[in-house]
Structure formats: C-alpha cells, structure tokens
Amino acid sequence: MGPVVFSGAQPTGQLTLGNFLGALRNWVAMQASHDCIFCIVDLHALTVRQDPKELRERSLELAALYLACGIDPAKSTVFIQSHVPAHAELAWLLSTFTQMGELERMTQFKDKAQRHRQNVNAGLFTYPVLMAADILLYQTEKVPVGEDQKQHLELTRDIAVRFNGLYGQIFKIPEPMIAADGARVKDLQEPSKKMSKSAESELARVMILDDPKEVVKKFKKAVTDGLNQICFDEENQPGVTNLLDIWCVVTGHSKEEALAHFSHNQYGRLKMETGEVVAAALSPVREEFARLRREEGYLDSILRQGALQARQRAGRTLADAYRVVGLPPLPGGDS
C-alpha cells in the first residue's frame, strides 16, 4: 500500500464546489496510490453549539456524500470520528505536550473567537490538538491541506517531534499535500475571498447538492467587472479569473485553451458556460447521494466497518503512546 493519507470534514452543513474541486475529487484520485483514511470529524463540530438531531443527520449525509463523490470503502477507511474514542484520548495526552503560546498564535482561533463571541470555549482553543491526534493516530504520512490549515499541520508536526524527542519514534511526522488544481475556488459575490459554506449570501456559494438550475442561476449572478475582457488577472479581474479557473478545473482544459474558447470577451457566455459545466459535473453526485440516503442500512454497515478498522489502527498507536509515558496497562489485559 502507498503512503498513509488522513483527511476529513466537519458535518456542519453541505460542502461547497470548492470542497468538491479542491478536496473530494483529489481524495478520490488518491485511492489508487495511497492508503486513505477519510473521517467525518463530528467532535470538531462541537466547538459551536449544534442541534443534536441535525448533527447526527448531517454526519450521515456527509458519509453518503463522500461515497457519492467516489470514495470507495473497499479501498479507503471511512468512519465517524466519535466512533473511535482514541481520538479524544490521544488529544488529552497531546495537550500536555502543547504550549499555551502555540495555541494562542493560531489564526483560526482568533477568527472563530471573533465570530462566536458568546461561546469562546476551551474546545475552540484546543481544537488544533484534537486535529493533531486525528492525524498522528494513524501514522499519517501525507495530509491534504489548504492554506487555512497549514498552521495547524505545522503544530501537529511540532508536537510529534517534541514527543518523539522524549520517547522515541512513536509518531510519523506528516507532510502537507497542497492541491494545485481546484484549491482556490472563490466566492461568487466577493471573489477576493475563498468560497465558504458560511458565506452570508446564498448566491456567493455553490453547494455540491444544489439543483442544476440553481447552480446555473448562481453563476449567472456572479460578480465580474466593467473591463469587458476575459483574462487571467487575479489582481484586477478576480471575478473573471475565478470563473476561468473553475471552467478549466472542471473541463480539464488549459488556461491557453480557456482564453481561446472565451476570446469573444462576453461575460454572460462565460458565466453561463461555467455554470453549465459545473451543473453537469455535480449532477451525478447529487443523484448518487439521493440513492445512498435511501440505503441507510448499507450506509450504517460501511460506517460500522470503517470504525472497526480505524479503532484497530488507532489503538496500536494509542497503546504505544500510553506505554512510553508510563501509563500502566489494564491488569490482565493484552497491553
């Protein structure tokens, strides 16, 4: 098997086109060459108050979406984070090897604390330690990350190096995988920002499960500019550049081919064609997702099997970490 890859997403609402192009499509491709572990990180979602019924439903929906996008449970381990207690257990141990100053420097904590001022809880502060546990439990070698998660991965590496320096090579030191294609899908209304599922305007974001007509409508209303020329110019034409980037990633065409195709310099046609190719790419996912959600027994069996596989792998790492720090084994147990 190839290098171990770990990644996951929170079950806090639908995923966007940016998640599909920048993460999920790449995850699917990785299955041919990597030992992939894909998690629904529901424990992370608890840093913000959640409706219990909705959280459970969204966790199942996200698992179905993983499969609908092409994640194959015969090739990859797919599970829900809270089904593997070792994540929370190792997070506590690693928190004793993490400095307050390191957590205080995390820019995501500062950003989220500003957005959720009524609930700046300790979990929000120690979130990166749980993320480190997620990664290190599986002896992960590669972690697909965007720019907003690079700082967290650096902390993970620092914690692992610190722990290994004291106790030997317990954890592998993970390396980042930065996706070149599809990783920079921008907000359709404010193209200087990354497309986010938390954007205030529904027109700003395209969700993977959007109806095809809704997808095209959102692209038709995308913000461009008054220059009336179609160029790759992120500084002066961020909206047009975003549309071109999306068209290229979805169709597989090069930038040169895109400029030749849109040499007419008509923004309306650029918006319409980009919306149509995106809608066509997302429609099979939407249809497969609907089928999987009707097969709840099948979905449950996949998640149960994935949790068992993850527990076995995570348990070995946790046992080694407990042993080297001096925590006694269970009397009469195997470790």
Alpha helices by DSSP H, listed for 137-295, are 150-167, 212-220, 238-251, 255-261, 267-294
Entry pTM? 0.90
Q: Which amino acid, one-letter code, is at 117? A: R
Q: Which is nearest to 250 in space by CA: 283, 220, 227?
A: 283
Q: What is the CATH number of domain 4-182+296-325?
A: 3.40.50.620
CA distance 38 to 63: 9
- C-alpha distances in Å from residue 177, one per residue of 22, 26, 142, 164, 306: 11, 10, 6, 22, 23
pLDDT at 113 (0 to 100): 67
Which residues are tagged catalytic?
112, 194, 197
CA distance 5 to 193: 28
Q: Look-up: residue for tokens 């700082």?
A: 151
260 burial type by CB count under 10 A (0-12 exposed, 13-18 middle, 19+ buried): exposed
pLDDT at 167 (0 to 100): 97
Q: Divide the 335 residues of the chain into consecutive groups of 10 and give the mean pLDDT of each group.
A: 93 90 92 97 92 95 96 97 98 97 83 71 90 98 84 95 98 87 80 85 94 97 94 94 96 95 95 97 97 94 98 97 94 66
| Domains in the chain: boundaries | 4-182+296-325, 202-291
CA geometry: angle 145, 245, 202, nearest 5 deg: 80
CA dihedral of residues 242, 243, 248, 251 (deg, nearest 10): 140
Residue 27 near residue 144, CB atoms below 8 Å: yes
CA distance 113 to 111: 5
pLDDT at 76 (0 to 100): 97
Alpha helices by DSSP H, listed for 70-208, are 86-95, 100-104, 107-115, 122-136, 150-167
Give the chain's radius of gyration (CA, Å).
21
CA distance 105 to 101: 6
Q: What sign results for the dihedral spanned by CA atoms 198, 199, 201, 204? A: negative
pLDDT at 181 (0 to 100): 52
Is the domain covering 202-291 a CATH 1.10.240.10 domain?
A: yes
CA distance 315 to 118: 36
